[in-house]
Amino acid sequence: MGIEIDILNGDASWSIAEPLFKAVWPRHVVEKQPWGHIEWADPDLRVLIEAPSGGLACHVGIYFRTITWNGRKFQIGGIGGVSTRADCRRRGYAGVALGAAIQTMRDHEAVQFALLFCEPHNFAFYQSRGWHPFTGEIQAEQPGGKIRFEAMAPFVFDFRRAPREGVIDLCGLPW
């Protein structure tokens, strides 16, 4: 049995992804997270993997953004909202979805590098797939203005550039 992967418009596919988000991240859980108060950007695209048993198994959001790194503008890709249904974990869905997202960003020739944010328990997952810690500063917009974004650790995936330090301004909401 093969894995079916859909890459859909972010806004148009929210109705498909929403039940998964509510199952993986119910409000009472989100409110207790160090990032629970953050306002997040909506993805431009969504990688969706259907479970063989039915329903959405996994989601990865893809973001395209012009940011600044050390004051210079760059087009980058972002990964966010990585979620896998509890009964579908440890089956490789997140790795497959992440690979599809990376290929989608790679096909978008203007993307210089990719950026994601994750919690410590996910560091090994991303590092084993070619992501590198970014040790510099991240700035992001929030309703009250620009903040230093420290709610989760930043990791980069190299395409044409390989940033490891400096200042990245997301020029918008984080993902």
Q: What three-state secondary structure class fits 116?
A: strand
CB of 44 within 8 A of CB of 137? no
pLDDT score of 106: 96
The larger pLDDT score, comparing residue 2 to residue 38, is at 38
The answer to whether residue 2 scores a pLDDT higher than 80 is: no
Residues 50-96 pLDDT 10s: 998 888 999 999 999 999 999 999 999 999 999 999 999 999 999 99
5-169: CATH superfamily = Gcn5-related N-acetyltransferase (GNAT) (3.40.630.30)
Mean pLDDT of the chain: 96
With CA atoms as reference, report the closest residue to 105 among 117, 96, 114, 92: 114
Structural domain boundaries of the chain? 5-169
132 neighbors 158 (Cβ within 8 angstroms): yes
1 pLDDT above the threshold of 70:
no
The mean pLDDT value for 129-149 works out to: 98
The pair of structure tokens assigned to 62 is 């893809």
Q: How far is CA 102 from CA 13, 48, 130, 141, 147, in A?
A: 19, 14, 11, 25, 27
Q: Specify the pLDDT at position 131.
A: 98
